[in-house]
Amino acid sequence: MCDCFDKVEANLKEKTDDPEASLNYMYAMPSFEKKPVIEATYRKKKKDGTFNKTESTISIAYPFCPFCGKKLSEEK
């Protein structure tokens, strides 16, 4: 696994002067591997086919690093 996310997170802390600034992560089962995620928003459909006004969110994990293109997890 690359160290791009560590570098980006360190740069984020430096640029914002916030020592607690961080990227979003999730822990993947069953290995509890820490994976970076993006959060997407969408509106759910009602029974009549129209969309709700309120938005829902979902977290999506990356299979590859968006910065260098390397695969993030090693397959076993």
pLDDT digits (tens), the chain, 76 positions: 688 889 999 999 999 999 999 888 888 888 787 888 888 999 999 999 999 999 999 988 888 888 899 987 765 5
Torsion angle of the four alpha carbons 14, 41, 38, 10, in this order, in degrees rounded to the nearest 10: 10
Q: Give residue for tokens 């995620």.
A: 37
In this prediction, residue 62 carries a pLDDT of: 83
In this prediction, residue 10 carries a pLDDT of: 94
Q: Which amino acid is present at 28?
A: A
CA 1 to chain centre: 16
Q: Give residue for tokens 């029974």.
A: 47
In this prediction, residue 47 carries a pLDDT of: 94
Domain coordinates in residue numbering, the chain: 24-76
pTM, 2 dp: 0.64
How far, in Å, CA of 54 to CA of 67, rounded? 32
